[in-house]
Chains A and B, each alone.
Chain A
């Protein structure tokens, strides 16, 4: 199964404070372990919400609100996508991550095609597989 690991923002990440070299080194070593174990499929960090925006969808309407957004602890600062045998394996990997100071990380199972059951017709399944393969070629 695949799991998304969501790293929440904090005051520092929202202020654009870059991580220390020590933390970057620890995180690099952790990423290296994840890759060697075949667990890490992807991972990125996000710029502070002041560089982003939100778009609200309501009927045909699209309303844009520019960042920054106030509710810091619910904002995202980064993520990984992991391939694991079970949710428990993801929890065990996460416990080894070099975070501290009350940081909270969220783990969420990703929907796989099987989860959609019969609603995913053979045509849709074929289209989904084609889109994924092409997106992967683009470096996804």
Chain B
């Protein structure tokens, strides 16, 4: 099963505060363990929402709203993509994660949808296209 592991933003991450040397070292060692165990398939950190934007869709209309966005604790600051045998295995790995922020923080674990989960909504042609696109982008 694949999981998306979402690191929530905090005041510090939104302020663009750089991580301490200790945290970078600890996180790098943790990433190395994840890779050795075959868990980590991808992961990145996001710049503060001040550098981002939102696009709203309504009919043909597209409205762009520039960041920053205020509801800090609901913003994402980074993510991993993991391959685990079960949700329990993902939980056990998250428990070992160094606290990614200087203060209290929160990480959300969400199972990723596989094309098979869409059932008969997906025609065989659409499923084949998806598989081909995934292999072209080297993602599964």
Inter-chain contacts of A124 with B (CB < 8 A): 24-25, 28
| Neighbouring A residues of B130 by C-beta, 8 Å | 28, 31
- Give B20-45 interface residues, CB cut-off 8 Å to A: 21, 24-25, 28, 31-32, 34-35, 38, 40-45
Interface string of B49-93 (1 = CB under 8 A from A): 101111111110010100001010010100101010001000100
Using Cβ atoms and an 8 Å threshold, which residues of chain A touch B74? 71, 74-75
Cβ-defined contact, A101 with B57, below 8 A: yes
Contact A111 B40 (CB under 8 A): no
Are B28 and A42 in contact, CB atoms less than 8 angstroms apart?
no
Residues B55 and A94 in contact, CB atoms below 8 Å apart:
yes
Known A28-B126, A41-B137, A57-B105; judge A76-B110 contact (CB<8 A): yes
Q: Chain A's interface: helix, strand, loop or mixed, by majority?
A: mixed
Q: Least Cβ distance of A9 to chain B in Å?
A: 10
A4 CA / B91 CA spacing, docked (Å): 24
Of A47, A54, A95, which is within 8 A of B113 by CB? Answer: A47
**With an 8 A cutoff between CB atoms, is B94 at the interface?**
yes
- Determine the chain A residues whose CB is within 8 A of the CB of B136 once the complex forms: 35
Counting chain A residues whose Cβ lies within 8 A of the other chain, the interface size class is: 35 or more
Whether A54 lies near B44 (C-beta < 8 A) is no
Contact indicator A111/B126 (Cβ below 8 Å): no
Per-residue interface assignment for chain B, residues 89 to 110, with 1 indicating a CB less than 8 Å from any chain A CB and 0 otherwise: 0010011010111001111111
A131: which of B35, B53, B58, B59 is its contact (CB, 8 Å)? B35
Q: Point out the residues of chain A lying under 8 angstroms from B107, CB to CB.
A: 54-55, 57
- Interface membership of A62, Cβ < 8 A: yes
Q: Which residues of B contact A106 (CB under 8 A)?
A: 49, 52-54, 69
- Chain A positions within 8 Å of B38 at CB level: 138
B133 at the interface (CB under 8 A from A): yes
Determine the chain B residues whose CB is within 8 A of the CB of A4 once the complex forms. Answer: 44, 46, 76, 79
Min C-beta distance of A126 to chain B, whole Å: 10
Q: A56-B105, A76-B6, A110-B46 are in contact. List 15 more A-B contacts (CB 8 A).
A: A4-B79, A18-B119, A44-B4, A46-B110, A46-B112, A47-B110, A53-B87, A54-B107, A57-B100, A95-B62, A100-B58, A109-B46, A119-B19, A139-B140, A140-B41
CB<8 Å pairs between A and B, sample of 17? A31-B130, A41-B137, A46-B112, A46-B113, A52-B109, A55-B107, A57-B104, A62-B94, A64-B91, A79-B4, A95-B55, A100-B58, A103-B56, A106-B69, A109-B51, A134-B35, A139-B41
User: Can you list the 4 inter-chain pairs with the closest CB atoms, starting with the nearest?
Assistant: A74-B74, A140-B42, A140-B41, A99-B57
